[in-house]
Amino acid sequence: MNHADEYRAKLVTPEEAVRVVRPGDWVEYGQFAVQTVALDRALAARRDELLDVKIRATTRAVGIPETVKADPTAEHFAYHNLHFSGHDRKAHDQGLCWFIPILYHEVPRYYRENCEVDVAMLPVAPMDRNGCFNFSLSNSHARAICDRAKTLIVEVNPNLPVCLGGREESVHLSEVDLIVESDWSVPELPSAKPSEVDRTIASLIVGELRDGSCIQLGIGGMPNAVGSMIAQSDLKNLGIHTEMFCDSMMEMALAGRVTGSCKTTDRGKIAFTFCLGSRACYDFIDRNPLCASYPVDYTNDPFVIARNDNFIAINNCVEIDLFGQVCSESSGTRHISGTGGQVDFTLGAYRSKGGKAFLCLSSTFEKNGRVVSRIKPLLTEGAIVTDPRALVSCVVTEYGIVNLKGKSTWERAEALISIAHPDFRDELVLEAEKMGIWRRSNRVRGESAAVVAFHR
């Protein structure tokens, strides 16, 4: 049987395909911009026939699943996620989504060793002449899902770009049980507009870069500002090794800043594991031989990251306490996003020769009409520790950059207070004294040592 005949033999409607799902099954939906739509809709229609079907996804960019909307009691469909999008956060706030804690670079192993996958439903680009379906904008852990799945259904969408490998970027027709065809628009991630504070922080970080640096950027206005500033700079021969490829990285490449000529791994190529951005970004990455799609246990492996000299990792966080503990995924007990690859790149960048890992935050935010410091004596009650204090190196606010590596508890407190908003520094000193992480000798003429340190 040739590929065309085998394809036709496996082609079914979404309604026929979801008949394989049984009560109690674990069902996989995909990741980021590449998650099932037609199959989700068809499975939702089976609500009254099913109980305790457990759905798992990662950062759903295509809206709250229809299965979740159809079952406000979560008795028929229980939705789980490894890293929240805004849609997932909304479902979580309604008690309809459960978070799965991860270290992102370990996720393929979780699937191969720990996670049950009864039915995998993965969107893919159309089959090529060799019988392969490309995982498109999300390589991540798709291959590991296929390896584990008892039944594999692909949802073929002609709108999905083809992302060249790398490795593990596709699945062969012979491994697929059922094929469904669909035609939905690929979700785009609106570019977060940087604030003035974002731009100030970005300018501090760009000043730390050098020709030949290898870059990773996280999600948000501040990383976008960094990418745009790099595109407008005179930096040369930069490399990109990242988990997420986004519009600001495309800007860097189109401006001629990125050659990858100084990289040790994937020299001359942009290595990534998923892409979220605009249609222009998707068009840039489509069949682009300068871009290499890899599974996340490669892109986010700290030891692979560290092989590239002068690696610069840039990520956001929610708050940090005076001990140096960083929360990047929750507001108290309310879950916002996830660990993602922040730990992976913070560790990997520091191990890189000349590398630096920047954790960035505005010094304050507004809550209920009042200004609140993001640098706190202790993390908010219930806040998740994303980065333990021993892992954290460079912390950046609009007031400067401090490096916590090798510093004692009182030195850490002094450094962090020096980049806190001036209105909160004396209060933070008092709290540090109460916690026993402040030296009285640091006070100079009644002024907090933090203020003195900032002006040195």
Q: What is the pLDDT of residue 449?
A: 44
* CA dist list (Å): 209 to 184, 239, 244, 381: 40, 12, 20, 36
- The CATH number that domain 3-181 falls under is 3.40.1080.10
Q: What angle do CA 345, 347, 348 make, to 5 degrees?
A: 60
Taking Cα atoms as reference points, which of 451, 231, 412 lies closest to residue 323? Answer: 412
Collapsing DSSP states into helix, strand and coil, what is residue 376?
Answer: strand
Consecutive H or E run containing 35: strand 34-35
Question: Which residues of the chain are modeled with pLDDT < 50?
Answer: 443-456
Q: What is the pLDDT of residue 441?
A: 61
CA 220/CA 452 separation, integer angstroms: 32
The torsion angle over the Cα atoms of residues 216, 83, 166 and 257, rounded to 10 degrees, is -20
Where along the chain do its domains lie? 3-181, 196-455
- The CATH number that domain 196-455 falls under is 3.40.1080.20
Q: What is the pLDDT of residue 192?
A: 73
Q: Following DSSP, what letter does each residue of 328-365 receive, concatenated?
A: -SEETTEE-S--TTHHHHHHHHHHSTT-EEEEE--SEE
> Whose structure tokens read 């229809």?
66
> Whose structure tokens read 């191990």?
351
Tally of CB atoms within 10 A around 254: 12
Q: What is the pLDDT of residue 446?
A: 37
Residues 263-321 pLDDT 10s? 999 999 999 999 999 999 999 999 999 999 999 999 999 999 999 999 999 999 999 99
Taking Cα atoms as reference points, which of 158, 220, 216, 149 lies closest to residue 186? Answer: 158
What are the φ and ψ backbone dihedral angles of 186, each rounded to 5 degrees? -70, 125
Rg of the Cα trace of the chain? 23
Q: Are 30 and 1 in contact (CB under 8 A)?
A: no
Q: What is the pLDDT of residue 442?
A: 58
Annotated catalytic residues are: 243
Taking Cα atoms as reference points, which of 90, 91, 22, 94 lies closest to residue 54? Answer: 22
Q: Are 253 and 280 in contact (CB under 8 A)?
A: no
Q: What is the pLDDT of residue 218?
A: 83
